[in-house]
Amino acid sequence: MPAGQPCPHCAAVAAERKRQIDRDRGTAASRGYDARWQKYRAAYLREHPLCECPDCQAGRLRVRAASVVDHVKPHRGDQTLFWDPKNHQAMHEDCHRSKTAREDGGFGNPRRSGAGHCTRGCR
């Protein structure tokens, strides 16, 4: 098994966990990303066309077109935080993916702390 790769058991457990998270999280529209959000998102990106993440800083460090309106602080269903313009930043899709993986551990999973999660000797 290549270094850094989960064993088949861990891979299967992770795949099932992702399927369960996807089933439980609901549709994008049910989470607030409806027609109203799409209209807001389009207007926001017209006014903020460049990625505003710390690595890009709206073109001061790196020039990347923004395609995502990110919630700086995850709203976790809080509609006030969801719609707060001070909690929004324009981001390039790759930058947003990296931020999400850093904060959530990827795919909505909680971050793991180091080794020892596999009872079968993986990692």
pLDDT band of 116, cuts 50, 70, 90? very low
The answer to pTM > 0.85 is no
Stated as kind and residue range, the H or E segment containing 90 is strand 88-91
Alpha helix locations (H) across 50-121? 79-83, 93-104
pLDDT at 85 over 90: yes
Domain assignment of residue 51, yes or no = yes
- The reply to whether 120 falls in a domain is no
69 assigned to some structural domain: yes
- The answer to which of 64-68, 91-95, 96-100 has the lowest mean pLDDT is 96-100
DSSP 30: G
Q: Is position 23 within any domain?
A: no
Q: Would 64 be classed as within a structural domain?
A: yes
Residue 115 has pLDDT above 50, yes or no: no
Residue-range definition of the domain harbouring residue 92: 33-104
For 42-65, write each residue's pLDDT tens digit: 999 999 999 999 999 888 888 999
Please count the structural domains in the chain.
1
Q: Is residue 117 part of a domain?
A: no
pLDDT score of 7: 85
Asked if the structure places residue 20 within a domain, the reply is: no
Q: Is residue 113 part of a domain?
A: no
